[in-house]
Chain A
């Protein structure tokens, strides 16, 4: 069992920076939860408080029934007693030790007997496929290998919880995809409760059982990847996940479209201030054939961007640029006129506070 409960966690730094603002979240046993948000939103700080490296200003952290930190009772469990393994963004391998020694150091500290040490080191080395690097120093191995060693170093300690701080962000694109599936494989195999920090929505979407989207230290939404994508709690979440980004129509920038969309939505559109829809929900046709149950607007193709498996269209319509995604080759060139058609379910509707209404 390894469940994490975070309650009203607050972290203020000197100079009155509130890095984490009353964060409450529960992570079930065996879950793979991602903290997702732009740089500076408090992800690393949260992770470090979980690990015990940073003192929260207030709040509580529980692991199962054990209180790891509580500002009201003053309880604090030091990092090494929390049973958590943390992989730093920089990997933080000790440069004066070989790969083998890097992995062994923690085992020695935990007073694991010699025989078992060797056994455990050999098994994590095999698990992470870094055989043959044992005698090398960190500057003698590649970034991807350093990443694996940093993971191995923590896994050798058999942590109940694995904490990963942007583990893929320092890798090149190819390696990143490889490591991503590696992480998924590891999680399926070991089924540790894992907390994963990233600013890459694609990583969060592909790996997580649940995603916690953060902004300015505040939790925006906590849910499965599909919930986050399809039912974003607010405009920030909608904009942050999905690529190309969600299209937004506002009353100020495109009043004509906005009014016509409101009229089309009828009762559903009450209180709406912004209307959004995903690129793949748009149907693009050369000319309009009026359809009662659908909403349409005219536009001009600004650019066609083939990505290989699909095509991204950039369409200009009433001074806004919209992105559309097509799976079949479009019969448009830049400058052509087109009609955009949307189904009712495609609409994401937000109120004046940017919260989603429906």
Chain B
């Protein structure tokens, strides 16, 4: 499953997998004193605003590089993939809806979808404008990441992950930072599928509760 680099990186299990994440949040990066990324994305969509896009680039390109490297993107293609994702951000900015997701969540989904494209896979998705799509009032509820700034959410997430038992945070890290499905995680950790599922369920309920418990 892992190449040799992956194994050495994963040695020490969840501590190491989350080490970078923790270190960066604790170092106090993500200074909130700046124009919001959401406003910058809207300016790119509306005015093709290069100054706003430069701010987005300076903020997200290094994060994408670090995030995608954890996801076992080969070092030689890493910079190209970062450029590719940022190019998609520029081109698709007009489809960004700040009522649905924060800028970082939207860029996370762009990066995910580009990786799926590059693997020559397709991603079936819901079309919210399709008349067959069922809507409920719950659709209008604010999403967890609307209720907090990026900085707040990252801190809340850090605390919530830090409070997870190690056997739960390990699985969350493998899912988000190693790109493994729950059945791959089960075989990697040599655990029954049911155990992985129940740990994931517990972890996700806790993280979601933490994210939604904001005022």
Is B one of A's binding partners?
no
